[in-house]
Amino acid sequence: MHPKNIIVFCDGTWNSPDQESKNGKPCPTNVAKLFEAVTPCDATGIPQIVHYIPGVGTSFRDRITGGGFGYGISDNIKSGYKAICSNYEDGDRIFLFGFSRGAYTARSIAGLIDNLGIIRRVNFHKINEAYERYRDKTPEWQPGSQRSLAFQDTYGWPKKDIHFLGVWDTVGALG
């Protein structure tokens, strides 16, 4: 299998690719513009898989809870992680982009991969457990701990670094 680029775009609070300005004209974010600019293959012919995650608070129902309190950010982190785990094969490169709470999302995905690895597809059922272990701040689940390394070895690919992490205006506050 030839390597590919897996690119995850995480937009900011209240941001989506179809948003409009106050005058009703399209007003895509920089994250959405980058997402739209990605071609099926890069300049050297390497295939590219893209995944876009709208910002928290983009639906009418979640406008206050997502925008004001960050509700839904865990779902966004898991969405990006699942996209990577479901497409990853040895040798692939991972790119993460994010703005505002989307930057926090991208950084969290990178942290999750650093701590617990990229789950193999055959172990996809362990993704939620990986996320819960990532959120567990006790010493036994810290990056490099015996438990986190054993989890990676048992369920994931060999250790993989993020090729590129591009974030701006990180917002980590959840309320």
Least confident interval from 1-5, 16-20, 65-69, 120-124:
65-69
Position 124 in a domain: yes
Q: Please give the tally of structural domains in the chain.
A: 1
In a domain, 77, yes or no: yes
For the chain, how many residues are written? 175
Q: What is the mean pLDDT of the chain?
A: 87
* Model confidence band, residue 160 (pLDDT cutoffs 50, 70, 90): confident
Q: What is the 3-state secondary structure (H, E, C) of the chain?
A: CCCCEEEEEECCCCCCCCCECCCCCECCCHHHHHHHHCCCECCCCCEEEEEEECCCCCCCCCHHHHHHHCCCHHHHHHHHHHHHHHHCCCCCEEEEEEECHHHHHHHHHHHHHHHHCCECHHHHHHHHHHHHHHHCCCHHHCCCCHHHHHHHHHHECCCCCCCEEEEECCCCCCC
pLDDT at 157 over 50: yes
Whether 172 maps to a domain, the answer reads: no
Summarize the confidence of residues 111-127 as an average pLDDT: 96
Does residue 148 lie in a domain region? yes
Range of the domain at 117: 5-166
Q: What percent of the chain has pLDDT over 70?
A: 81
What is the reported pLDDT for 113?
97
**Residue at 118 is within a domain:** yes
- pLDDT at position 26 is 60
pLDDT of 2 reads: 79
User: Residue range 97-113: average pLDDT?
Assistant: 95
Residue 69 lies in a domain: yes
Q: Is residue 173 part of a domain?
A: no
| Predicted pLDDT at 175 | 44
